[in-house]
A and B are shown apart, each in its own frame.
Chain A
Amino acid sequence: DAGITQSPRHKVTETGTPVTLRCHQTENHRYMYWYRQDPGHGLRLIHYSYGVKDTDKGEVSDGYSVSRSKTEDFLLTLESATSSQTSVYFCAISESLEGHQPQHFGDGTRLSIL
């Protein structure tokens, strides 16, 4: 299994509070991704990183920010959580730009915003 650890695994918080999710990898892969999974939508890309301090927006980036200060860590922050951000969040990693390399996923973080 790819060495990807997401923390926390579960979190319940209130609307308006800041939330940070962490993705830690031990594979030294360059590319890291944050997705959210919602019923009827599959997984949708929030933000991704193609190197330390290099990040870009995905399909559903509004309300989210990311940071990558080290190769192994990719943080997803909800500055002021809203109920629409209740979801399951997955981190993924990829070794290279070779399209045949599959992305490998962490076990997910279930986030509930009350």
Chain B
Amino acid sequence: AQKVTQAQTEISVVEKEDVTLDCVYETRDTTYYLFWYKQPPSGELVFLIRRNSFDEQNEISGRYSWNFQKSTSSFNFTITASQVVDSAVYFCALRSIQGAQKLVFGQGTRLTINP
């Protein structure tokens, strides 16, 4: 069975601090994909990044960076110099290549950036 765990239910930091959101996953598949989605207060789900199981390169996009470590089954997300607009619920998700490509989501981390 596949499982995604986001142990941090809520995080609150002051603006300009760096913050890391943890994601740990379980799967028996050798090929899989990991995703991060952002859900701002307006409620929609916004795709942020995708990573496949064969690519362990870290990725940086502006203030966002992602650290994928297959050895620890983790796909952590760091926001550098956080801003109030980063306040949202963030979901980590796992997608198998089997079947109809269903997504398995973590429980989400609610991030609050205080001014």
Residue positions of A touching B, CB distance < 8 A: 31, 33, 35, 40-45, 48, 50, 56, 58, 88, 90, 92, 94, 97, 99-105, 107-108
Partner of A31, one of B32, B52, B101: B101
Q: Total contacts A to B, CB within 8 angstroms?
A: 64
The B1-32 residues at the A interface (CB cut-off 8 A) are 4, 6, 9, 31-32
Tally of contact residues, B, Cβ under 8 A: 28
B75-115, CB under 8 A of A: which get 1 and which 0? 00000000000000001010111001111111110000000
Partner of B102, one of A41, A45, A101, A108: A45
Q: Is B64 an interface residue (CB 8 A)?
A: no
Chain B, Cβ-Cβ closest to A90: B45
Chain B, Cβ-Cβ closest to A31: B100
Partner of A42, one of B52, B97, B106: B106
B32-52, CB under 8 A of A: which get 1 and which 0? 110101000001110100101
Q: Given A42-B106, A43-B105, is A88 in contact with B43 using a C-beta cutoff of 8 Å?
A: yes
**B contact residues around A100 at 8 Å (CB):** 33, 50, 52
Main secondary structure of the interface of A (DSSP, over half): strand
Q: Given A42-B91, A88-B43, A99-B95, is A33 in contact with B102 using a C-beta cutoff of 8 Å?
A: yes
**B contact residues around A31 at 8 Å (CB):** 100-101
**A contact residues around B9 at 8 Å (CB):** 40
Q: Do residues B102 and A48 form an inter-chain contact, with CB atoms below 8 A?
A: yes
Bound-state CA distance A94–B101 (Å) is 9
Q: Do residues A99 and B52 form an inter-chain contact, with CB atoms below 8 A?
A: yes
Partner of B107, one of A41, A56, A99: A41
Q: Given A88-B43, A102-B50, is A97 in contact with B101 using a C-beta cutoff of 8 Å?
A: yes
